Amino acid sequence: MRTRRAILGAAGLSALGAAGTAGAQRAAPYAPPERARDLTLLVGAEGGSGADLWVRGFAPFLERHMKEVQVRVVNRPGEGGLAALRELAAGPPDGSVLAYAPTPFLVARMVERRATGLMERLRLLGAVTEEPVALVAAPGTELSALRDQGSDRPLGLPPPVSAASILAVDLAPFLKLEQLHFPSAAAARQAAASGNVAAALLTVPEALVAVREGRLAVLGLAAGARHPQMPEVPTLREEGVPLDGALRRGLAVPAGIEARPAGHIARALRAAAADPEFLAQAEWRAVLPRFRDEAEWGAIVARDLAELRLRWETSPWQVVGG
């Protein structure tokens, strides 16, 4: 019998495919019941985008644990992702419409578009994954040397409202490099691998392939603990840089949702985050499957909102994306 790790590393296993686990942990493929109730899951991005692929990969787990529903993913791009949330806020209270909610990305979008009142019309029922931000550079780069000596090359960053770019503002006092935003995380990753920037800030999944191929090295993780897939990599806290930052992905519902469907959806999210097949998929992508309920996730978002509001008033970032 092959080991779980061997299965996860097998050729042809895609990031959003149906990754299996070994032996008794393998879950039976889910098939919606014949009389399933339709549930609409809005995603504020174009089809084929990273957000869209994540949502479509998560939808079968939501179906499996909600039971007797069939999830229909609907793309609603516009306003940097806020168009989908506006539609959600005006949605019915019966739990038949949900929306994908990545934070702190959407919080930054609300702040820059002066739409923070939208938050009061939503409930963030639960986050199911976290993708810690990592400082990466070409192999052989030492964080201590970058901190002590600096560099004439900049720090490469994804677009301004990404989790990595939001964290970069707090990193600046510790790492005195000019910061350069690229059009995408992929572009920042390539610049770091080729040595055109001194280092880059990316989420772990964004850097994962290049790290596995030896084209990038992780200098430190912006997390409270080491990553289980990279136990040899220290946290930035261990390196004297007390910063945490991550992309959290979860689902939102209208603020006026009825109590019964809200509880049902929250329980399904918790169960999905612990699903063995979901755990295997997350492990392969170096994503941390971590359920945060409405209270815990809401407290994090409230802190993000206060910080980003202040930052926008004192040093606004460039608004990009439609």
Instruction: List pLDDT tens digits, range 89-107.
Output: 999 999 999 999 999 999 9
Pick the range with the lowest mean pLDDT from 14-23, 197-206, 265-274, 312-321: 14-23
Q: For position 228, what pLDDT does the model report?
A: 95
Write out pLDDT tens, residues 139-156. 999 999 999 999 999 999
pLDDT at 3 over 90: no
Q: For position 272, what pLDDT does the model report?
A: 98
pLDDT band of 320, cuts 50, 70, 90: confident
Q: What sign does the CA torsion over 252, 257, 261, 263 have? A: positive
pLDDT band of 74, cuts 50, 70, 90: very high
Write out pLDDT tens, residues 272-311. 999 999 999 999 999 999 999 999 999 999 999 999 999 9
Q: For position 22, what pLDDT does the model report?
A: 38
Judging by DSSP bridges, how do beta strands 155-157 and 199-203 pair with one another? Answer: parallel
DSSP 175-234: S---EEE-SSHHHHHHHHHTTSSSEEEEEHHHHHHHHHTTS-EEEEESSSS--TT-TTSP
Q: For position 36, what pLDDT does the model report?
A: 73
Q: For position 24, what pLDDT does the model report?
A: 35
Q: For position 29, what pLDDT does the model report?
A: 56
Q: For position 107, what pLDDT does the model report?
A: 98
Pick the range with the lowest mean pLDDT from 5-14, 50-59, 105-114, 162-171: 5-14
Q: What percent of the chain has pLDDT over 90?
A: 88
**Which domains are present in the chain?**
4-130+249-314 (3.40.190.150), 132-221 (3.40.190.10)
> DSSP letter at 97?
E
Q: How far apart are CA 122 and CA 131, in angstroms?
A: 23
Task: Give the helix/strand (H/E) hosting 99.
Answer: strand 97-103
Q: For position 33, what pLDDT does the model report?
A: 54
Q: Is the pTM of this model over 0.75?
A: yes
Q: For position 112, what pLDDT does the model report?
A: 97
Q: How far apart are CA 27 and CA 21, in angstroms?
A: 8
Q: How far apart are the first and last CA of the chain?
A: 49
Q: For position 35, what pLDDT does the model report?
A: 61
Mean pLDDT of 198-224: 97
* Chain length of the chain: 322
